[in-house]
Amino acid sequence: QQQQNLILKPYSYHREAGSKMTIDLYPEIVRQQDLSPDVGFGTEIDEDCKTIYDATKGFGANKQRVIDTLATKDATERWKLCKRYPEVYADSKKSNLAELMKSEFSGDFGRAMTMLAMPLDEAECYMLKKATDGIGCNVPVIYSILCGRTNTEINLVKKNYFKLYSKDLGQLMASELHGDVEK
């Protein structure tokens, strides 16, 4: 019971008009639509940026330090980290945190680190893009991202997908999904 409470703690429950009870998957800072950090990120986020920078500086990367820094953060802290890193290290070759992870790590681990270094909504757009690349699509990935979402969250994913890839997500899903899955 205590472990279940720890898992659900970062999420809040709400009820949209005419819908069932849902869990907010996106942090409040993402749902606000005003993504400018007026208040600031705090010294802890700056320290995490420095830790990641130091761990990836030079030849190779200290994998464990990067994991300890990124994997222990919740969605809000990772959002702040990915927005703050380019501000702090704008002069470095890889000022985009996701691009840094992509260049430092390879394979499935590199893909996982790249997605951890993205805001949650952008990571889901990236997963949808990968799930629909090539011939056919990966229906379980699409289901896990889109099913059970509130209208607000789906609209946020659609807006971000268009912003990132200049394609309409609704049209993409209509062309990729067929039969019972399309419904």
Q: What is the pLDDT of residues 127-173, one digit of tens each?
A: 999 999 988 888 999 988 888 788 888 888 999 999 999 999 989 98
- For 20-47, what is the mean pLDDT? 64
Q: What is the reported pLDDT for 14?
A: 46
Q: Which residue has the higher pLDDT, 10 or 67?
A: 67
Q: What is the reported pLDDT for 31?
A: 59
pTM: 0.70
Encode burial over 44-82: b for 16+ CB neighbours within 10 A, e otherwise: ebbebbebbbebbeeeebbeeebbebbeebebbbbbbbb
Q: Which helix (H) or strand (E) holds 49?
A: helix 43-56
Q: Which residue has the higher pLDDT, 31 or 129?
A: 129
Of the pLDDT bands very low, low, confident and very high (cuts 50, 70, 90), residue 2 is very low
Q: Which residue has the higher pLDDT, 114 or 59?
A: 114
* Residue pLDDT, tens place only, 100-115: 899 899 999 999 999 9
Check pLDDT > 50 for residue 175.
yes
Cα separations (Å) of 140 from 29, 93, 103, 111?
Answer: 28, 36, 28, 18
